[in-house]
Structure 1
């Protein structure tokens, strides 16, 4: 006997303890599905993007929170004048605007309540006003769960697969030396052996960032990105988000793990990691572009950070997250488990289903022109 109730913005802001108790008793991701991450995202981008909160709480007979459906809604009018009510998962704004990337998205359910929570969440979603639901960066089994509970193609919904992405998660419960030995020769050279090359020529140090000593970490990170990409790693809104997140990180039992590589006393690389729930997550990195032709500072810094995770008994995994890199899927070289993410739409508006069907049946060049004109 579970009950679904909408949670107001005031309720969202006040439910950190209750949210975290539910999350910690679930199999949902402890960082990206945490209250500090999602509420900081909401506080940063909801008004900028014109989002309406559609947060669904699932409660048992004792009014204990046993499930959370973290959604939001926005009304769009396409260039062709088509009105679309789109439901999103909090943490991503697919095709609206760039925000920080929220991975491992999904519905939170206490262990032992997974089936029951899905059984009441999906009917509650069906009763809401929306034309299409966008699920971004969800583990692949989330699509199966939604389909099995009544949001699949057999129930009259059109499922459109948009992107598939991969990440890599390294098991750090074993020996760093064993992991290092399993790497390919070239990867081991770049991630570890080049330390010796640099140490022969100067002073090389891997250090945790200290603001009082090293200045603002994000200034270092943004400076490296401006030099390499001609834009910062984090714009104004993203900086606000990360500063809010760091202030609240203790609420999900997390801690920052920002680090620098110093060479002859000069900062040449910055790595932004967070540790939550026994996993160290690699969120962002930046380094001096033309440092040394023989040295890949990105690989070198990751090698130090992964070794640090192996040495820490409280950490059992290092997550490189999704993303392929500038030229290739370099993360696959780090001998970890591949994690698959899916982004898809669930469409129920008849007009939109027809438009997407035309788009899918058209040659690529026609489909692109159709998409631009219609605005889908």
Structure 2
């Protein structure tokens, strides 16, 4: 196995303190948003097998069957099919959705045909893959996930007693679910900008005044004054995860993370369509094509315990599998050997995996088939695939 050196991305919404506290280092004074652990070309982890530092992506490219295992390489192609992150949100991320695989393939091919540069700010599709994801809270973690029932969204907006919100309330109450959600989100995102700014400002003042269930949206409005995403956010379910709880986010489900520290795993993709709460490009027609206009239960989950102490988070896809071990001294040593590739990440205490002893925030890559056991006192997350 190989100890990994990982990149921390300094996005503006990142926390000043959460990742430094996890890693046991002094804060830099700059936001630190995500630590990427994997082989994504945007920021691959590095390792050293005796010949200097090399990107994990290059290691996998050189021997996909050996590093990933023949079954995983055949099933997912010659790349690590997942990306693991530690995400530290100090302020809200953009309100966004991810395409399904067919949408991603078609969108990527169309932008390639039109010659849109891969790094162009107006580019929607950076690759041809879908991006399902799972977030597991390490601290209390606030987020928005999936549409509310239209009548519940109408009641929330009506409670603000803001005149310019009444047309949205009427639409939500007058139409069937899919049509109601589609019409209201479309109206919010295509409204005349000055009128929308005024509506958002009045809404923000009402949220500040009323507090309670409106407090999360007041917080969003403070970070994104005048942004139509503030109103779009009120169409979604607010969720507060406790440590160890998780959310799975499939294609077309609008969501945003608001605050907290968590372990996130996703298919190895960077395809994001934004609805708001961002200075970045918002492609309204493409967004409306990808969003699934259906009310959903956020589906907060706890892991399912296996006999050897592994706690597995359920997901309906094969590109990634996330579990954790809460290890205690003198307990049975679990065998973590797998026919597919793995990343092991310590998030608490001190854990020995194979011949590597890990502190919080440290991780190793385990090639397919390599025997590995774990012991110590702490929490170890295990990221892999289903083959």
Q: TM-score range by the shorter chain?
A: under 0.3
TM-score by length of structure 1 reads 0.25
Q: TM-score, normalised by structure 2?
A: 0.25
